[in-house]
Amino acid sequence: MMRKGLAGQRLVAVFLAGVLLFDFPLLSLFDRPLRVWGVPLLHFYVFVVWAALILVIAWIAERGAR
Amino acid sequence: MLPGWLIVAASFSYLLVLFAVAYFGDRRADQGRSIISNAWTYALSIAVYCTAWTYFGSVGRAASGGIWFLPTYLGPTLAMSLAWLVVLKMIRIARTHRITSIADFVASRYGKSHLLGGLVTIIAVVGTVPYIALQLKAISSGYGLLVGELGALRDGEGAVDSGWWTDGTLYIALTLALFTILFGTRHLDTTERHEGMVAAIAFESVVKLLAFLAVGIYVTFVLYDGFGDLYARAVAEPDLAGVLVFDGTGSIGYGGWFAHVVLAGLAVIFLPRQFQIMVVENVNEQHLRRATWLFPAYLLAINIFVIPIALGGLLHFGRGTVDPDTFVLTLPLAHDQAALALLVFVGGLSAATGMVIVEAIALSTMVCNDLVMPMLLHVRRFGLAARRDLTGLLLGIRRGAIVVVLLLGYLYFRLAGEAYALVSIGLISFAAVAQFAPAVLGGMYWRGGTREGALAGLSAGFAVWAYTLLLPSFAKSGWLARDFLDAGPFGIGLLMPEQLFGLGGIDNVSHALFWSLLANIGCYLGVSLLRAPTGQEASQGTLFVDIFRRGESVPTSFWRAGAEVRELLPLVARFLGERRTRDAFAAYARSHGLSGIDQLKADPELVHFAETLLAGAIGSASARVMVSTVVKEEPLGLDEVMNILDEASQVRAYSHQLEEKSRALEAATAELRAANEQLKELDRLKDDFMSSVTHELRTPLTSIRALSEMMVDDPDIDIDSRQRFLGIIVSETERLSRLVNQVLDLAKIESGHAEWHNTDLDMRELVQHAVETTAQLMRDRGAIVELALPDAVPSLRADRDRLLQVVLNLLSNAAKFVPVPGGKVWVSLGCDGERIRVDVRDNGPGIPPAQQGVVFEKFRQGGDSLSRPQGTGLGLPISRQIVEHFGGRLWLESTPGEGATFSFELPLASAAADQ
């Protein structure tokens, strides 16, 4: 059962990390007039963190399935 | 521009495909080969979250506020990371209790309350019907864009100014109603799952994603040269600078961002359509595992091209000429990509129809089970009871509810038009369903919530939501006087709806979310804590909170028996239909090892089963009411109470007896154990005695044998030696017979078989006789005996020979230990009126304290083995036995080096004397 185990705790940790990464004050650090490969840093940051979170959740969820 | 007929044909062809997919899904479900029973379909169907609001609105939001369209999708991503903890619990609860809507969930949790179910239904309807209207509007304006002229639509005025009967949107709405009725209410199912509908929704999710990606790729890579090119051009436009930073418009701030994330996170779980798809339509709990990441990945994919399309539209049209909400359509149209525009329109259609279909099913289930059925039960209980088959009525109510919900949506769309109230309904709707969160989450993790608490919380939250968000949206639409908004009701500034109690500086949605959730949670907790939960609330609370701990076991029933199977079966059949009910009951009977329905007994478990079956069809609160019509919930009568008390006291009496018995047994066990120990000890003593006796016998035997053999072997042995040997043999033989006599003596005394010849005797004469008897022995040892006799002692009744044996034994012992020469033995006799005492003292080496106890044991002689004189080792034990037989005692006092004193005393009136 994945619910009570390590995976559950990992998911909660990911949730907390996501809340931190997507909100003030961490978010404000990236609101700068810089561009990464032409993309504004803010947009780049949000989408990259978002994708990373999804990857981590996928890793946890699919690992637990084994 | 496209001809209207083409668009209509494409739209209806698409809907026909949808019908086909749904029909195929239902066919396969009936055959038991479900096409939706896989995690991918499940995750895709959850993407019903992305409506036309996402499809068209995200670009519009991005065009005005940059990344501010994102909280609506970041919130669900975060919420889904916890789905395996929260949503899984909801799924398990819903499956166990046959819960088919969020209203039923709340009602069931707080004691199956009709009132709560009704309230949740009303909030859901008020909060989401305008949302349906928004979808219809999206379809309508999309159609208008495709057929009309760009310029006519720039400020969004709808192209529909002819009569309502010519409005294609109405026909779309009616077609959707037909679809929903066909695939949403095909039959009454106890689980309320609609496989065909889910298959169609998953298909729609694919269509809208592909269409959106198509236009995104077209804009980004065909019209422009990739992301970098778009951004480079945007940076060059000072007009677009606000899109590229966090808060270009500078009005909402990070607090508002956080509030929007929270709001969307709650909405993705508590929107009626999300609950329907994620919880009710879930086929297998394991599918949720993949959905936790696949659905967020879908959201990410559908949002990648939002900013590029917004930038492309702004670069192409400039600000203020074309509504940014329509960029996905107008950009392809402006570049004469009619086919792409049509594809995008179909994508938008799929986003809108998916939402409308699921929302209509969810709302119709709620309206039927939690609003109409309770009213019918309440108003015409007897009318309902009289009708045999209610399945038709139930389906009729559902179908009616679907049509009404869709027509309400259409009506709102016609009335509101371009009003603010419609445009902003997305977040307003989210805020409405967020009010369910405290009651649902609280109910899942806290046992203390009560019906009044949930009612108070929901009412307060709903009221504050209406006052701070819904009414202002009406005022901004011009339907209410604006001064209510700007100056507060009756001019009271503190009550201004968007700055309640003077709270300013945050946007209206965050403001409303804060106040409504504050009121909601505050009332829910506060009122719940006013009283302890009732029995039913507590039992439901435990069932919900501990759902994972209970496993698959049947929950304990609320009902105490008193139903008949022949009453229960028809009751359920009236709502579910005869065949389905018989199937369900037969399956139940089989699972309990019975051969058929006839063998079922109406125990509480069966009543619970029937209630759960009904709950799936008409909601838990109504099911409770219906079951209560045939189940007599017997109150506990006085007799029953007395019986229970009687049983209890009997049981207590039995247990008391048992306790006593067990105590007695314990005592007996202890006695037996002690006796056993004693026996073991005696056995050991017997063994010791036997080995000692045999040892003592062997010593003289050995010497007799050795001497005899010498004389036999050597006939030439001289006469003197022969004489000496014979003397030794005689003395050894005497010793041997003495030993045997003593052993026999001791055995007799110990076993109580000895013969005692009691006579009245004078101890003076006895002691004197003993001293005279041993006089020769003393002379041989060179010892002097001093005798101290009183003039007269009272006569004693005892066995003379035995007592003489004792005194002789003491005297011969003394003679053995006195030093040679110079030995002295003192013998004294005394009488204190009650006892006669004899002391025999010598001036020998004495007995060390460690040995003083030992000398009275059999075969244990004093002194070390070298200086030990000859003796059997039985004299003292026998003497002690004799003295004790007459009620006296024999003891020893000695200081090493100063001789030893053996004393015995005998009572004058001995109890044993007459034996």
Number of domain units in chain A: 1
Q: What is the CATH number of the domain that holds B714?
A: 1.10.287
Cβ atoms of B368 and B616 within 8 Å: the answer is no
pLDDT of residue B160: 43
Mutate to test the interface with B, among A2, A46, A47, A54 (most CBs of B within 10 A): A54
B663 alpha carbon, distance to own chain's centre:
38
What is the C-alpha to C-alpha distance for residues B645 and B651, in angstroms, rounded to an integer?
Answer: 10
| Residue A1 counted as domain residue | no
Nearest in space to B466 (alpha carbons), one of B432, B502, B492? B432
pLDDT of residue B673: 93
Mutate to test the interface with B, among A20, A41, A42, A50 (most CBs of B within 10 A): A50
What is the C-alpha to C-alpha distance for residues B206 and B53, in angstroms, rounded to an integer?
Answer: 17
Q: How many residues can be counted in chain B?
A: 915
| Residue A47 counted as domain residue | yes
Partners of B81 on chain A (C-beta within 8 Å) are 11, 14-15, 18, 53, 57
Query: Scanning the structure block, which residue is given the tokens 């006052």?
Result: B467
Query: Scanning the structure block, which residue is given the tokens 């419609």?
Result: B422
Same domain, B653 and B572: no
From B64's Cα to the closest Cα of chain A, the distance in A is 15
Interface of B with A in 260-319 (CB under 8 A): 261, 286, 289-290, 292-294, 296-297, 300, 304, 307
Same domain, B374 and B232: yes
Of A15, A35, A64, the CB nearest to B231: A35
| Residue B458 counted as domain residue | no
Nearest-by-CA chain A residue for B305:
A47
B438 alpha carbon, distance to own chain's centre:
23
B784-788, strands of its sheet edge to edge: B784-788, B824-831, B835-842, B900-907, B889-894
Q: How many residues can be counted in chain A?
A: 66
| Residue B438 counted as domain residue | no
- The residue range of the domain holding B770 is 756-914
Of A12, A24, A51, the CB nearest to B82: A12
- The residue range of the domain holding A26 is 6-64
What is the C-alpha to C-alpha distance for residues B347 and B478, in angstroms, rounded to an integer?
Answer: 33
Same domain, B615 and B645: no
Q: Which residue stretches of chain B have pLDDT < 50? A: 149-162, 382, 551-560, 635-636, 865-868, 911-915
| Residue B451 counted as domain residue | no
- Look at phi and psi of residue B246 and say left if phi exceeds 0, alpha if psi is from -120 to 50, else beta: alpha
pLDDT of residue B676: 92
Domain boundary among B419, B450, B468: B419
- The interface pTM score, or ipTM, of the predicted complex is 0.92
* DSSP 8-state class, residue B69: G
Cβ atoms of B450 and B535 within 8 Å: the answer is no
B384 is written with which tokens? 């309902």
What is the C-alpha to C-alpha distance for residues B305 and B310, in angstroms, rounded to an integer?
Answer: 8
| Residue A46 counted as domain residue | yes
**DSSP alpha helix (H) spans, B714-797:** 719-751, 763-773, 775-781
B715 is written with which tokens? 């006939």
What is the C-alpha to C-alpha distance for residues B419 and B408, in angstroms, rounded to an integer?
Answer: 16
pLDDT of residue A48: 92
CA angle B128/B129/B135 to nearest 5° reads 90
Same domain, B668 and B812: no
- Contact across the interface for A15 and B81, Cβ inside 8 Å: yes
Same domain, B594 and B575: yes
Cβ atoms of B469 and B512 within 8 Å: the answer is yes
| Residue A39 counted as domain residue | yes
Same domain, B113 and B187: yes
Q: For residue B909, give Cα distances in angstroms to B563, B794, B798, B912, B914.
A: 89, 11, 10, 9, 10
Number of domain units in chain B: 4
3-state secondary structure of B588: helix
pLDDT of residue B914: 46
Same domain, B284 and B194: yes
Same domain, B349 and B242: yes
Cβ atoms of B120 and B366 within 8 Å: the answer is yes
B431 alpha carbon, distance to own chain's centre:
34
Q: Is B882 on the interface with A (CB under 8 A)?
A: no
Same domain, B273 and B303: yes
pLDDT of residue B464: 92
Same domain, B825 and B697: no
What is the C-alpha to C-alpha distance for residues B711 and B692, in angstroms, rounded to an integer?
Answer: 30
Nearest in space to B141 (alpha carbons), one of B175, B178, B174, B168? B168
3-state secondary structure of B886: coil
Q: What is the CATH number of the domain that holds B55?
A: 1.20.1730
- Contact across the interface for B81 and A14, Cβ inside 8 Å: yes
- Contact across the interface for A22 and B548, Cβ inside 8 Å: no
* DSSP 8-state class, residue B485: H
| Residue B493 counted as domain residue | no
Same domain, B642 and B626: no
| Residue B459 counted as domain residue | no
Same domain, B569 and B642: no
What is the C-alpha to C-alpha distance for residues B358 and B274, in angstroms, rounded to an integer?
Answer: 8
What tens digit of pLDDT does each residue of A17-64 get?
A: 998 888 878 888 887 777 788 788 888 899 999 999 999 999 988 886
pLDDT of residue B548: 76
| DSSP-assigned letters across all residues of A2-61 | -SSSHHHHHHHHHHHHHHHHTSTTHHHHT-SS-EETTEEHHHHHHHHHHHHHHHHHHHHH
Domain boundary among B607, B630, B653: B630
From A34's Cα to the closest Cα of chain B, the distance in A is 10
Domain boundary among B604, B630, B656: B630
